Amino acid sequence: MRFSVVIATYNRARDLEGTLESLAGLTPHGDWEVIVVDNNSTDDTRQVVEGAAPAFPADLRYVFERQQGRSPALNAGIRAARGAIVVTTDDDVRVDRGWLDRAAEGLDTLACDYVGGRVLPVWGGARPRWLADRPGKQWAVIALLDYGPEPIEFGTRVPLGVNMAFRRAAFERAGLFDVNTGRRAGTLLGQEVREWCIRARAAGLRGCYVPGMCVHHIIPASRLNKTYFRRWFFWRGISRARLYERFRLDMISPEETTLDYSQVPHIAGVPRFMYRQGLQELGRWAADLARWNTPAAFDHELWLCFFAGILKQRVVTSRGALPPAATPDVQRAG
């Protein structure tokens, strides 16, 4: 089999129905399958998958994963996958007919081990004026991505898990996703893709951005408000602090980690230089408010939310301690 599409889902049966309808329009060259991993849903997710399976143009399979979290769910789907190319997406997307072929072409043409592509919006409500209609740091909150019209190699930039494709051998060399990293019910934890990409690069794997590999992500109106954005950045701070505690990855730019943090002065478990940046962001926030530049002020406010998440994780949860560096809790594909 050439392609396996893996979707992790939790209590979003209605969204999943639309996604499966979109996937049914795919016309890839080669055999393919779709694996829906139910991560302890209490709605009718299983019935949706089993109801769609008889008329689906490819093998549509249901897998149940009891361990809560996006990473365990994706790992369960990857283990069940039979394709030479494993593709991950979410339960709220729309895809072009040639999506899978564009992924395969990218892997071959760019001679790489994994690829990621554009993620463009389908607005579920009116886009607020403070939210840019072009790529920027706020796009990450609602899982959108556009690095431009030309392919690039991933490094300081990373893909989004809603639109990635991997050669199966990539998981055999770098392992699966770290089950202690990533989204869990009731949280906005993340960073599982970033952590995997850092580990993949260390294993000698190469990843590239493929602009022609595009999905359209439905953005619900419930996320198009400042409260959600503040909360997301707060949880990003928690997620980055967790990576820092376990793997010594820089909390601002994990891919650019160069410092030996055992030699860096800390206050309450946070590198001292980050407080200086926090004070600078606070000053910029106040200055932009005074100039009535509310979009710029909101950007600085989001950085402060991010810093607050770091402080919470380091001070409240870990009590400021920095234990010995850990090894990611991952397993090999098999």
So what's the pLDDT on residue 329? 55
Q: What angle do CA 63, 67, 68 make, to 5 degrees?
A: 100
Residue 208 within a domain: yes
Same domain, 49 and 96: yes
Same domain, 190 and 215: yes
So what's the pLDDT on residue 47? 98
Write down which residue in 224, 244, 276 finishes a domain.
224
Same domain, 103 and 24: yes
So what's the pLDDT on residue 116? 98
Same domain, 150 and 255: no
CB count within 10 Å of CB 135 equals 14
Residue 243 CA from chain centroid, whole number? 14
CATH of the domain at 89: 3.90.550.10
Same domain, 88 and 180: yes
So what's the pLDDT on residue 322? 53
So what's the pLDDT on residue 321? 55
Same domain, 158 and 189: yes
Determine the Cα–Cα distance for residues 31 and 1; give it in Å rounded to an integer. 5
| Span 167-221, pLDDT tens digits | 999 999 999 999 888 788 778 888 999 999 999 999 999 999 999 999 999 999 9
Residue 90 within a domain: yes
Residues of the chain with confidence (pLDDT) below 70: 318-334
Determine the Cα–Cα distance for residues 154 and 147; give it in Å rounded to an integer. 10
So what's the pLDDT on residue 334? 57
Q: What angle do CA 185, 187, 191 make, to 5 degrees?
A: 105
Domain that holds residue 11: 3-224
The two beta strands, 270-271 and 85-89, are unpaired
- Angle of helix 294-311 versus helix 226-247 axis, rounded to 10: 40
The two beta strands, 207-219 and 85-89, are unpaired
Residue 71 within a domain: yes
Closest C-alpha to 243, from 191, 204, 175: 191
Residue 326 within a domain: no
